[in-house]
Chain A
Amino acid sequence: MGIYPSVQVVVRCGQTMHLRADHTLYLPQQKRLLAADVHLGKAETFQAHGLGVPSGSDAADLQRLSQAVADTGAQQLVFLGDLVHHHSGWTPRVRMQLAELLTALDIPVILIRGNHDSFVQAEDVDGDFSCVDERLVAGDFKFCHHPTRQAERFTIAGHIHPTWTLRHGGERLRLPCFDLGEWDLVLPAFSSFAGGMTLLPDLARQRFVIVEGHVVPI
């Protein structure tokens, strides 16, 4: 009955990955921490469009992120796109919050721009912050926003916010999950204010759902 605070997976290139219950991925050989789809400023975007949704999820999410960096001792943090939800939510306050995080972490942070945050520039945020488009190749891994499955280099992506639905009798539970294939891994959305796409069963892929601080292989 596997239920773990994090799950270690060794992929075909021989590298180890830690699938963490805080929705991040840690690569110990590279000392890199990855998070996808943080969607900062989502509440502010809603507010700017006349939908009264309270802020607060950003602060909680960033707190979770700095905890993850502290736990793993990561030397670099990579955002796999959609760090920011929308330009109308990219307010000074949100930028300030991010800058404060960078100062506290004191490690380089890289954003691979996604479909939501193509407008974000490195100079928007004070600190060791840089942006790249499309992809970043690092050793045996390729990091990008949109998932791709190419049988040459192991790809780690985000974008689709994968979730898995457990069913038993009349019960139904929908939970965020990691979606692992032979050549790729899709991370769950890091944001606590994000929906998701329900994955369909696929024998060629392994899913790990996240539930109350635990990772459960399905």
Chain B
Amino acid sequence: MTNDVATTALAEIEGWFRDLGWQPQAFQRETWAHFLAGRSGLVQVPSGAGKTYAALMGPLAAVKADPCPGLQILYVAPLRAMSRDLQQALQRPIDGLGWPITVGVRTGDTSTYQRRKQRKQLPAVLLTTPESLALLLSYPDSERLFKNLRCVILDEWHELHRSKRGSLVQLNLIRLRRLSPALRTWALSATIGNPLDAATAAVGSGEKPLVVTAPLSRPIHLETLLPEDVDAMPWGGHLGLGCIQQLIAVLDPAVSTLIFTNTRSQAERWYQALRFLRPAWEGVLALHHGSVEQKQRVAIETGLKQGTLRLVVCTASLDLGVDFGPVARIVQIGSAKGVARLLQRAGRSGHRPGEAARILMVPTHGLQLLEIAALRLALAVGEIEANPGFDKPLDVLGQHMVTCAAGGGFSADELFDEVRQAHAYHQLSRPEFDAVLAVVEHGGDSLSAYPQYHKIKPDDGGIYRVASKRLQRLHRFNIGTITANATVKLAYQSGGALGYIEESFVARLRRGDVFIFAGKKLAFQKLHGMTAYVKRATRKTTRTPHWLGGQLPISECLAQHLRTVLHQGASGPEAPVLQPLLNIQQRLSHVPRQDQLLLECLDTRSGRHLFIYPFEGRLVHEGIAALLALRLSRCQASSFSFSVNDYGLELLAPAEYPFEKFFEPGLFNPDNLATDIAESLNLSELTRRRFRDVAQVSGLVFQGYPGQHKTQRQLQSSSTLLFDVFRQYDPGHPLLAQAEREVRAVQLEEARMGRALMRLSQLQPLWSTLKKPTPFSLPLMVERLSARLSNESLLARVTRMKRAWRL
């Protein structure tokens, strides 16, 4: 019966579409029907195609057909910033149809008053973030709040599903399904390589998901800005403002344009340069990145939408789904580093279905043309990266346990079965689960080490609950898994917030130092608490704040196409500039075929350089460089420095080191990879840095109560210090192992490295002795020496550093 009523409601919705002059698309109708038939799944269509309404209208019709009190539809979006636009998008059909359905937003920005009101009675449709959802589940009355929930919609699921936040969402979804067994889940995703995987993560392992796709493949026009003068193209560097004059010539302040960059410092540099060269664009030109203050970002987004701002230099901060309406043009500075990212960015232009997406690529150095040619090839073949990710993060599990203990309690056996239904944890073993439980209950396995610790404990019936009200409150402040690097707020001394900046950058500033932030020249005044005070400056400066994690490696898929382009030789629009560059490379050395591995040796005053070009992306190269250094030093003891980029790696040894003599394909043998990596890289240093994240997620770092920072000094500690304490006094702690696992899987991409080594060991070495640097090797030589294989003790390092100072 209800289904008939729901069908009638759907007809009304179709009427609303028609009134607006729209036509429901096939994939939208298909999703509505699947929902009403009780199924769950994933909608995968390009951005701007109408995913939101595909997921929303089915549940909305069901709510209309069979009204219940309380929350019915939960809409989870990854960014708080998206909530304003989404709320309008959700409200629009409800208002248009005149249905009595309430819509509400609950994020970290929602006022306490609003939140308290919502706790009494949630709106029928609630828009929230993963963290706010976890918070709701930590309340003892969560059962009452969610018992009538019909549908969860997961927006931008491709961004979330393989991340720690995605794991958190998966755990929460399982919890929700237990509270409301008829719950259906629909995830929305841009085009990714592994849609079924993403769908399974969304619906859990209890159900077979559907994947709805639309044959709406928008053609993508990739254009490249080629330098007029072939020799003007630098051989290396990534900020490269070389093409800026040409870009200015094609930019038009009458056409709304997003200019994507890959790092925040690059965005700052380009924005500054554009402003300097075209003062007339003041007012239509803006800068948008993740560290710019929220209010300013909103103002920029609004300006873009209303057409007052035309040219916005941005980073991945504008990658996600905020709907800007028509942006006419997309510019990408440097390489997009991956096919999926290119598609996502190109999809920002010309939002009308069927219309071609256009993207203008601006290379920052010569070899980037190679990447662009590879992207072109990947688009032609139609291959897209699968989303890489990380399974069963134990820190997130620990956090979830405390959430469950706070939200009504749990029994260990039941929770274990429940957690295993989440795709991210389907391989979790009982010992792993018990180890995490022990961490949350006792602190760790060694009971004597944690005499004062009680976070959760079981009652007589074996139901775990949080030990005290105070700890519950503490936990709620700590919920969430995104952890940025330590940032401090940036504000004018006269008042007015500017945004956030990395603490490590501020730490190196002295009073009066001038730097550029959000396009403004600022003089540093003082750091007080968690705020850095600045005032406007007029002096010139070259300092741009740096943000960690800015440089992504090229994806495995793109890397493969890159090698193909090399093998086949340049073709397409990039050829006129790329081919001369490859010719120089060929003249001075070689351009390797796909079955060859190019090795170049060069002697300079600094020593003997060996350049190798696996074309596998910088992270893999970093690992391979360290591995080779270790294995070579076993042949003849020596110390190596190395540097890497996306194309290759450089090992620098003392003069006359006989690289050729020791080189054999066995050096690339992937056997013993794990142990050799542990030996070659300063694994504990990498793990130490990673531990910050793990410690924060699992609630080991005290985040402070809002407005109460000063009184909790006794709980402040840096995570690096915690790492040392753990390693020394509880070395078997599961969270330490977790941090190391993350380093290996995410930071070093160990699996990808293994595949790369396997490939390299089968290639035929092609040696070349250089007299001067080649187009391939020069960028590596100028790259700051990024690491060194060193068996030196700390003391020896200090001695060496001190000696270098004296010179």
Contact A212 B439 (CB under 8 A): no
Determine the distance from Cα of A89 to Cα of B714 in the docked complex, in whole angstroms.
10
Most buried by A among B470, B699, B725, B730: B725
Determine the distance from Cα of A161 to Cα of B665 in the docked complex, in whole angstroms.
52
- Determine how close the nearest CB of chain A comes to the CB of B476; give it in whole angstroms: 12
Could you list 21 examples of A-B contacts with CB < 8 Å? A1-B799, A3-B795, A3-B798, A43-B729, A45-B714, A47-B451, A47-B453, A49-B715, A52-B442, A52-B444, A54-B443, A55-B451, A86-B714, A166-B801, A166-B802, A168-B801, A170-B785, A170-B786, A171-B797, A195-B716, A195-B721
Contact B721 A55 (CB under 8 A): no
Q: Does A14 contact B (CB under 8 A)?
A: no
* Extra A-B contacts (9), CB below 8 Å, given A52-B440, A171-B801, A214-B795: A42-B717, A45-B715, A47-B453, A54-B443, A54-B446, A91-B451, A170-B787, A171-B797, A173-B797
Q: Does B794 contact A (CB under 8 A)?
A: yes
Q: Does A118 contact B (CB under 8 A)?
A: no
Bitwise interface map of A from 43 to 61 toward B, beta carbon under 8 Å scored 1, else 0: 1111111111111110010
Bitwise interface map of A from 16 to 47 toward B, beta carbon under 8 Å scored 1, else 0: 00000000000000000000000000111111
Contact B803 A216 (CB under 8 A): no
Contact B797 A216 (CB under 8 A): no
Residues in A75-106 with C-beta less than 8 Å from chain B: 85-86, 88-89, 91, 93
Give the chain B neighbours of A195 by CB distance below 8 A.
716-718, 721
Contact A116 B714 (CB under 8 A): yes
- Determine how close the nearest CB of chain B comes to the CB of A36; give it in whole angstroms: 17
Which single member of A44, A46, A52, A200 contacts B510 (CB below 8 Å)? Answer: A200
Q: Does A62 contact B (CB under 8 A)?
A: no
Interface size on A, residues (CB 8 A): 46
B731, closest chain A residue (CB): A54
Q: Does B356 contact A (CB under 8 A)?
A: no
With A51-B702, A53-B722, A54-B729 in contact, do A173 and B801 touch (Cβ < 8 Å)?
Answer: yes
- Determine how close the nearest CB of chain A comes to the CB of B234; give it in whole angstroms: 22
Determine the distance from Cα of A187 to Cα of B787 in the docked complex, in whole angstroms.
33
Which single member of A55, A169, A171 contacts B450 (CB below 8 Å)? Answer: A55
Main secondary structure of the interface of B (DSSP, over half): helix
Contact B452 A47 (CB under 8 A): yes
Contact B507 A52 (CB under 8 A): no
A92, closest chain B residue (CB): B451
Contact A169 B715 (CB under 8 A): no
Give the chain A neighbours of B700 by CB distance below 8 A.
51-53
With A47-B453, A52-B443 in contact, do A57 and B471 touch (Cβ < 8 Å)?
Answer: no
Contact B728 A56 (CB under 8 A): yes
Contact A56 B802 (CB under 8 A): no
**CB-CB nearest 5 A-B residue pairs:** A56-B729, A52-B443, A47-B452, A47-B453, A168-B801
Give the chain A neighbours of B452 by CB distance below 8 A.
44-45, 47-48, 88-89, 91
Determine the distance from Cα of A88 to Cα of B507 in the docked complex, in whole angstroms.
32
Bitwise interface map of B from 622 to 654 toward A, beta carbon under 8 Å scored 1, else 0: 000000000000000000000000000000000
Give the chain B neighbours of A194 by CB distance below 8 A.
721
Give the chain B neighbours of A1 by CB distance below 8 A.
799, 802-803
Determine the distance from Cα of A167 to Cα of B798 in the docked complex, in whole angstroms.
9
Bitwise interface map of B from 780 to 807 toward A, beta carbon under 8 Å scored 1, else 0: 0000111100000111011111111100
Bitwise interface map of A from 174 to 202 toward B, beta carbon under 8 Å scored 1, else 0: 01000000000000000011110010100
Contact A54 B784 (CB under 8 A): no
Determine the distance from Cα of A47 to Cα of B236 in the docked complex, in whole angstroms.
51
Determine the distance from Cα of A89 to Cα of B795 in the docked complex, in whole angstroms.
34
Give the chain B neighbours of A55 by CB distance below 8 A.
448-451, 729
